[in-house]
Amino acid sequence: MEGPSDQTWHKTACILCESNCGIEVRLDGRRFARIRGNKEHVSSKGYTCEKALRLDSYQNHRARLTSPMRRRPDGSYEEVDWDTAIAEVAERLAAVRDAYGGATIFRYGGGGQGNHLGGMYGASVANVLGVQYRSNAIAQEKTGEAFVEARLYRAHTRADFEHAEVAVFLGKNPWQSHGFPEARRILRAIANDSERAMIVIDPRRTKTAELADHHLAVRPGTDAFCVAAILAIMVRDDLIDHDFLAERVEEIEPVLDAVREVSISDFSARCGIAVSELETVAQRIGRASSVAIFEDLGVQQGPNSTLVSYLQRLIWILRGSFAKPGSIHPHSAFAPLLSSGDMGGKRSRPKATPVTGAPIIAGLIPCNSIAEEVLTDHPDRFRAMIIESANPVHSLADSPRFREAMDALEFSVVIDVAMTETARRADYVLPASSQYEKPEAVFFNFEFPDNVFYLRKPVLPPMPGTLSEPEIHARLVEALGAYTSDDLTPLRAAAESGRAEFAAAFFAAVEAKPSLAGVGAAVLYRTLGPTLPEGCAEGAALWFVAQRCAGAYPEAVRRAGIEPNGAGLGDALFDKVIASDDGVVFTSHLHEEAWDLLGSADNKIHANIPQLVEMLQALPDAPAGHTTAEFPLVLSAGERRSSTANTIFRDPGWRKADQEGALAMSSADAAAHGLVDGDRVRLRTAAGSAEPTVRVDDAMQPGHISLPNGLGLDYPDEDGEHFRSGVSPNELTSLGWQDEIALTPWHKHVPARLEPMTG
């Protein structure tokens, strides 16, 4: 944390995708002068992709906020000081709570690809206000998968590609999107090993597909047919691990009966993959000692997505590819990603949304329902929103509808580092310190048998005018009167004397005043925080998390080399997390212990999900496609490229190529529309239109066109005039276009047409 000509390499992490590779940064003043991978990082071991080198564009740019902003009646913003902002935000939130109840205050976000600590403290504010409903981006991608996993075995799983004999990527392009440690190294290793095989199911010939042994270029939106046909071949040819099914799986028979009914030739015709090719793939999976599968947005944001999440799991269930090297595994959790973050014990949570009755999965209301929970005269409608570290106006389907919803609220506050599209609709905007100006961490800790957690320390002091989320939330909690300084004084004293004393005092205080549990994160920040090493106070809430983690997996924590200190195993784990600069292996499991990580009462897999088996049986009657004469093309609105990183980078200057995010299309489609590379075209969907430039790309199949994600952000030029670079994909998407179970949007499957540019 020194001035110019600082020769120190500061350890931190890349925040652009869930891999969070460890990096080292050299500073020139406040600029990131050099960036390299951190070879000592226990998970990424020095690996990065090219995007990490651009992180200065996140840390330093013209749209960063340096003062709380208050919206004037004419829609412009004025700067206000922090005391005013905190007092007024607390007062306005309390007024909504008092008039209509805390359940009408909705909370969105709480973390992005690199930052989940803030959300823990945000839970303190939510708890004081009695907030009941929340959501985040996960509820427009992963809730279908969560629905399936909750029914199969009550656990979250990932796959071990490092050791898998056969790797399957289903609507996933890890060469560009990563999603597991050292993704490109592992993809290359599989591609170079003749004993192993890679299968990619993607309509597009992606970079990953180029490396694959088998690329199944399905027709967009037909994955359910493709995966069901593979399953049917496995059952027909008896490529099944019967011992595994007998020992570990309940109720497989009704599922196998439904799979036997699948017409392989009909489904092959529907997905556009020859039966012989499906057979080759089924047989390669069928003779493998291990198969690892990763499904992602290509199927999670398209037709039949929850059904596909189910069917792909049946592949590895039939193969018994679970709980051994190279297979699927559950994992420990340092802090549960989907928990409400409160410390007040189990509270019963609503199962459906108050207005539209949409299903709440994994505690999250479907992103597609949020605006509809506002834009109604229903008495229980959402009246206020707290939005943190998310840009829903840009990232959720139907941007105009979300803007309308924000405008209809009685109150809204956004906590962000930048003046985003969402911030521009809020009553107050509170400027957070960047992820390199405070301690941060993610709860994307999905590894097995050794799982890793990394608390990174600040590289720079906070930008003047900004505060960390823990500080912002603690101030809000205090303005809302959740505790008094008398409540905290004994805890502060105990924290000074020692950790065992602190634990005793903390639990005694919560017992005497149970409401303190709901604001436990803020209490820890104010009491334990000041006793932690410099720059670590924001890590204080992890003390409770570490206790819970050590309590949940004591043997695996010990096996990871953590021994109880004077205050116990949880404190030893916490101390190690605070002290480490390279990430900590916090649990080390044995493979057979995977079964204990399942949440099902009998630690078995329960294969039969009747609702989804019925959907499988109804597939032959499904429509052949969703395009029409009016909208004959399928647009994938949001492809991951090396030039995209959600909306974390706002300055378009970070992009060295593909500046405006071209619309990719096959040469056949280009020719049919009289287009050549670099032309501009009008792209129209039922929801709206845009004018992207064209890139002719024969990785695309005819009829399928693709736009990148994360573009179309407003950014000020040198004179402060805003300009927009590229297409904002959700100006083109519609809310009703969604999965029937999880209500996740079909971002990857939007019917569209191309028109010549006029004028």
Ligand X SMILES: Nc1nc2c(c(=O)[nH]1)N[C@H]1C(S)=C(S)[C@@H](COP(=O)(O)OP(=O)(O)OC[C@H]3O[C@@H](n4cnc5c(=O)[nH]c(N)nc54)[C@H](O)[C@@H]3O)O[C@H]1N2
Give residues in contact with ligand SF4 (CB under 6 A).
14, 16-17, 19-21, 48-49, 51-52, 178
Q: How far is the CB of 434 from ligand X (least distance, A)?
A: 6
User: Under a CB-based contact definition with an 8 Å cutoff, are residues 365 and 386 in contact?
Assistant: no
Q: Which of ligand X, ligand SF4, none does residue 157 bind (CB under 5 to 8 Å by kind)?
A: none
Kind plus residue range of the DSSP H or E element containing 247? helix 242-248
Interface residue with ligand X, options 478, 747, 753, 754 (CB under 6 A): 747
Nearer to ligand SF4, 21 or 675 (CB): 21
**Comparing C-alpha atoms, which of 102, 162, 160 is closest to residue 134?**
102
Q: How far is the CB of 501 from ligand X (least distance, A)?
A: 33
Q: How many CA atoms lie within 13 A of 303 on its CB side?
A: 23
User: Under a CB-based contact definition with an 8 Å cutoff, are residues 249 and 314 in contact?
Assistant: no
**Comparing C-alpha atoms, which of 560, 563, 526 is closest to residue 543?**
526
Q: How far is the CB of 666 from ligand X (least distance, A)?
A: 13
Site for ligand X in 704-723 (CB under 6 A): 709-710
24 touches ligand X by CB under 6 A: no
Query: Could you tell me the CA-to-CA distances from 284 to 178, 210, 243, 277, 513 in Å, in that order?
Result: 24, 18, 20, 11, 61
431 touches ligand X by CB under 6 A: no
Q: Which two tokens stand for residue 603?
A: 């630690």
701 touches ligand X by CB under 6 A: no
Q: How far is the CB of 474 from ligand SF4 (least distance, A)?
A: 29
Nearer to ligand SF4, 175 or 737 (CB): 175
Angle between helices 520-527 and 542-552 (to 10 degrees): 120
Rounded Cα distance between 276 and 259, Å, is 18
Interface residue with ligand X, options 56, 145, 149, 202 (CB under 6 A): 202
Q: Which of ligand X, ligand SF4, none does residue 627 bind (CB under 5 to 8 Å by kind)?
A: none
Interface residue with ligand X, options 68, 529, 638, 703 (CB under 6 A): 638
Nearer to ligand X, 117 or 495 (CB): 117
- Looking at 47-173, list the stretches that DSSP marks H as alpha helix, in order from N- to C-terminal side: 56-59, 82-100, 117-129, 143-152
Site for ligand X in 217-236 (CB under 6 A): 218, 220-221, 223
Nearer to ligand X, 300 or 547 (CB): 300
Site for ligand X in 656-675 (CB under 6 A): none
Nearer to ligand X, 218 or 752 (CB): 218
Nearer to ligand X, 168 or 567 (CB): 168
Rounded Cα distance between 438 and 209, Å, is 39
Amino acid at 468: S
Nearer to ligand X, 220 or 726 (CB): 220
Binding segment for ligand X (CB under 6 A), chosen from 24-32, 39-47, 189-197, 645-653, is 645-653
Q: How far is the CB of 411 from ligand X (least distance, A)?
A: 18
Q: How far is the CB of 444 from ligand X (least distance, A)?
A: 11
12 touches ligand X by CB under 6 A: no
Nearer to ligand SF4, 49 or 323 (CB): 49
Name, in order, each residue with C-beta under 8 angstroms of 253's C-beta and a sequence gap of 6 or more. Answer: none
645 touches ligand X by CB under 6 A: yes
User: Under a CB-based contact definition with an 8 Å cutoff, are residues 686 and 753 in contact?
Assistant: no
User: Under a CB-based contact definition with an 8 Å cutoff, are residues 46 and 699 in contact?
Assistant: no
**Comparing C-alpha atoms, which of 330, 47, 327, 17 is closest to residue 172?**
17
Q: How far is the CB of 121 from ligand X (least distance, A)?
A: 11
Rounded Cα distance between 596 and 332, Å, is 10
User: Under a CB-based contact definition with an 8 Å cutoff, are residues 249 and 605 in contact?
Assistant: yes
Rounded Cα distance between 201 and 196, Å, is 17
Q: How far is the CB of 49 from ligand SF4 (least distance, A)?
A: 3
- Under DSSP, is residue 124 helix (H, G, I), strand (E, B) or coil? helix
Q: Which of ligand SF4, ligand X, none does residue 166 bind (CB under 5 to 8 Å by kind)?
A: none
Strands lying side by side in the sheet with 428-431: 77-79, 69-71, 428-431, 411-416, 384-388, 105-109, 133-135
x/- map, 154-183, ligand X, by CB under 6 A: ----------------xxxx--xxx-----
Q: Which of ligand SF4, ligand X, none does residue 173 bind (CB under 5 to 8 Å by kind)?
A: ligand X
Q: How far is the CB of 647 from ligand X (least distance, A)?
A: 3
User: Under a CB-based contact definition with an 8 Å cutoff, are residues 228 and 311 in contact?
Assistant: yes
Site for ligand X in 113-152 (CB under 6 A): 113, 115, 118, 137, 140-141
Q: How far is the CB of 17 from ligand X (least distance, A)?
A: 4
Nearer to ligand SF4, 321 or 644 (CB): 644
3-state secondary structure 581-648: CCCEEEEECCHHHHHHHCCCCCCCEECCCHHHHHHHHHHHHCCCCCCCCCCCEEEEEEECCCCCECEC
Binding segment for ligand X (CB under 6 A), chosen from 202-210, 276-284, 340-348, 510-518, is 202-210
Interface residue with ligand X, options 120, 190, 199, 297 (CB under 6 A): 297
Strands lying side by side in the sheet with 214-216: 214-216, 197-201, 166-170, 291-295
Rounded Cα distance between 205 and 287, Å, is 26
Q: Which of ligand X, ligand SF4, none does residue 20 bind (CB under 5 to 8 Å by kind)?
A: ligand SF4
User: Under a CB-based contact definition with an 8 Å cutoff, are residues 385 and 170 in contact?
Assistant: no
Binding segment for ligand X (CB under 6 A), chosen from 213-221, 284-292, 475-483, 673-681, is 213-221
Q: How far is the CB of 390 from ligand X (least distance, A)?
A: 4
Rounded Cα distance between 560 and 165, Å, is 27
685 touches ligand X by CB under 6 A: no
x/- map, 451-480, ligand X, by CB under 6 A: ------------------x-----------
537 touches ligand X by CB under 6 A: no
Q: How far is the CB of 192 from ligand X (least distance, A)?
A: 22
Query: Could you tell me the CA-to-CA distances from 299 to 176, 310, 692, 743 in Å, in that order?
Result: 17, 11, 25, 13
Q: Which of ligand SF4, ligand X, none does residue 306 bind (CB under 5 to 8 Å by kind)?
A: none
Q: Which of ligand SF4, ligand X, none does residue 149 bind (CB under 5 to 8 Å by kind)?
A: none
652 touches ligand X by CB under 6 A: no
- Under DSSP, is residue 10 helix (H, G, I), strand (E, B) or coil? strand
User: Under a CB-based contact definition with an 8 Å cutoff, are residues 139 and 744 in contact?
Assistant: yes
Binding segment for ligand X (CB under 6 A), chosen from 96-104, 111-119, 447-455, 505-513, is 111-119
Kind plus residue range of the DSSP H or E element containing 690? strand 689-690
Q: Which two tokens stand for residue 205?
A: 């010939």
725 touches ligand X by CB under 6 A: no
390 touches ligand X by CB under 6 A: yes
Name, in order, each residue with C-beta under 8 angstroms of 616's C-beta and a sequence gap of 6 or more. Answer: 224, 228, 258, 259, 262, 307, 311
Chain positions contacting ligand X, by CB under 6 A: 17, 112-113, 115, 118, 137, 140-141, 170-173, 176-178, 201-204, 206, 218, 220-221, 223, 296-299, 302, 388-392, 395, 415-418, 420, 432, 434-435, 469, 636-640, 642, 644-648, 709-710, 729-730, 733, 747-748
